[in-house]
Amino acid sequence: MELTNGVYVRDVSYGEGWFQRGHWADRLAAIDADIAAMEKGAGPPSDKITRVAPEKIAALVGHATGRVTRAVAQAAHTPPKNFHRGEAVALEISVEASATAAQLHYRHLNQAEPWRIEPVEIVAVHGRTAIPADYTTRLTRSNIILRSRARRTARPSSPASALI
């Protein structure tokens, strides 16, 4: 640890939470405690060994390391022509018929604030949400992201239950 003195900054922050601050060396005692707990919990090997066919293991590993695909519904909105400072900004959104849910994520462009999220109320192919009035009191640009989910056409079965 003496070797790292003056090399690394003592307080590296990368977020708002208390756990996103500090120096890796501050975690050494907790890391040692975790290792000791794992060593203590590891007992002698069990006599009961469940044999699993290699092809089933390969299929499970492939599933665990594969990409998850989520059903996504297309959504779009036209920004309002204007708004008044200190008043909510109503947004009308067009969504695909398969849309089951949508959320509006927004924050000021200075990136010093966390994302705020508002639900989108969906009826048929129309969605409605608003950016609250307390957010529009500052005249700064904002990032706005619209996320939507679609109804799945078929629910995939769990590979773990099918393979073992």
Looking at the DSSP assignment, which residues form a beta bridge with residue 107? 143
Looking at the DSSP assignment, which residues form a beta bridge with residue 95? 75
Segments making up each domain of the chain, as ranges: 2-46, 50-164
pTM of the predicted structure, to 2 decimals: 0.53
Indicate the class that CATH gives domain 50-164: mainly beta
Is pLDDT larger for residue 71 or for residue 95? 95
What CA–CA distance (Å, rounded) separates 126 from 69? Answer: 25
Q: Tens digit of pLDDT for each residue in 13-24?
A: 777 787 788 887
Q: Tens digit of pLDDT for each residue in 101-142?
A: 888 888 888 777 888 999 999 888 888 999 999 988 887 778
